[in-house]
Amino acid sequence: MAEPAQAATGIRISSGRLVEANGTELVLRGINHAHVWYQQQTSSFANIKATGANSVRVVLGSGQRGWGTSPASDVANVISLCKQNRLICVLEVHDTTGYGEQSGAATLAQAVDYWISVQSALTGQENYVILNIGNEPFGNQGYAAWTTDTANAIRRLRSAGFQHTIMVDAPNWGQDWTFTMRDNAPTVYAADTTGNTIFSIHMYGVFDTSAEVSAYLSSFTSRGLPIVVGEFGNNHSDGNPDEDAIMSYAQANRIGYLGWSWSGNGGGVEYLDMVLNFNPATRSEWGTRFIAGANGIAATSREASIYGGTGTPDTQAPTTPGTPTASNVTSTGANLAWTASTDNVGVSGYTVVRVQGSTETTVTSTATNSAALTGLTPSTAYTFAVYARDAAGNRSTRSGTVNVTTPAGGGGGNNGCTATYRIAGSWSGNFQGEVTVTNGTTASTGWTVTWTYANGQTITQMWSGQDTPSGASHSVRNVNYNGNLGPNASTMFGFLGTWNNTTNSVPTLSCTRS
């Protein structure tokens, strides 16, 4: 296929492949994130990056559906979060989903109106942003209009001055079982005067065999047409997609893929959450497969060169974590914290092991340099250590060991309750923290958690708790709806804070109840 006379200024298409402005090939390895429905989950960008992903596809709203409009200020913030976390940002309007079949869905023309309305946030970001015009823009009715409507949308965006690579989704709820996108792709591609359009297929129940996967993707690559798998999962209400074939074929043929989705699914497809309740330490079966399995993110993703990535495999292991320290030891649990490891690309998480002579048993995994251990046996001596790992699967040498002996009984000297502190996410100068309060063996009507920061951290906002600060110390009481706890019941409060970007150590917590 001939190269266009005019090239885009940033990410672009070259010889049927997605490349960066400097010509380095860009194979998307990313995760979808439902931002418009969960706008407070900004730590998800850092957590997605920690999996090794090089990109994130972000759900936005154009105003036609019940989830509202994503204004230019929000778009700018999303792009900033992508850039802070060294992710290529694929932005998509979700309101077009199922047009012609789903009531209230937006047209592609309305999606273009939206993109023009937020153009100020997008101009100059061509090295970092791909513009996905509209998610699954036709259902299983009226899809014959896909070719004309998509071509017209591309022309309008180019006429308005957009120079970004444009991504277009297939009709039929993204799965193109009618082959409308496949057969009309050359016509749509020709509508882009810059030649910088990439096609996106969503693979769910329609693509339940390896033959179907390879036949569809090869129909594009054999014609020099760029293609990406914009969504897929390991299961779906319409059938069982062959995720192994999708990931294997994509890796072998340098085709990008973005799995659906990080967290927050409902409507009977909760199994598509990669992590539970946006907690990176609790991966689902699908998340474990997608992130750490064969041809998954950790093994195949390469950071974009605009962020300093080289495109070559990462073989360097993280540095050895610090020797863990123990706190809040009870008869059945303990908190561990350690000095974080460093890595040439980035530490993706830690594994805590129990050491018994020459034998090691995995106890838990965590995305941060702390862990809450549960299910321990009373009156038992334990030895724990920690390994760090990066997104490519490289593992550090083992940390020093810490000895922990659980007491008999249930209270463990914590006045009938325990509290566990977790850093849920951090970004430039800021972080999000969570504290889980667990009651003892009898009911209580209130609780108080206290701690003192050692590294100058401050708390700027808190929810589900009432903070009484005194310098570096904090005393947090329950609010009216989470003070009454039954035996062994738990609740959680969270907060936003600032840190010095150097050290954000986990403090020792004390918990009392009433």
- Exactly one of 20, 231, 243, 303 is catalytic; name it: 231
DSSP class of 470: E
Dihedral angle, C-alpha 152, 157, 161, 167, nearest 10 °: -120
Q: What do you get for the CA distance between the two ends of the chain, in Å?
A: 74
**Helix 243-252 vs helix 210-221: angle between axes, to the nearest 10 degrees?**
30
Distance CA 90, CA 206 (A): 24
Is position 231 annotated as part of the catalytic site? yes
- Exactly one of 20, 92, 126, 136 is catalytic; name it: 136
Q: From residue 470, how far is each of 374, 449, 458 by CA, in Å? A: 31, 14, 11
Indicate the SS3 state at residue 302: coil
Strand pairing report for 129-132 and 334-337: unpaired
Q: Is the alpha carbon torsion for 221, 223, 224, 225 positive or negative?
A: negative
Distance CA 470, CA 496 (A): 17
Cis amide leading into 70 (omega within 30):
no
DSSP string over 318-368: PPPPPPPEEES--SS-EEEE-PPP--SS-EEEEEEEEEETTEEEEEEEESS
Structure tokens at 85: 């976390």
The CA angle 493-405-509, to the nearest 5 degrees, is 25
Distance CA 289, CA 284 (A): 8
Is position 136 annotated as part of the catalytic site? yes
Report whether 197 contacts 168 (CB < 8 A). Answer: yes
Residue 468 neighbours by CB distance under 10 Å: 11
Strand pairing report for 347-356 and 381-390: antiparallel
Single-letter amino acid code for the residue at 262 = W
Report whether 445 contacts 414 (CB < 8 A). Answer: no
Q: Which residues are annotated as catalytic?
A: 136, 231
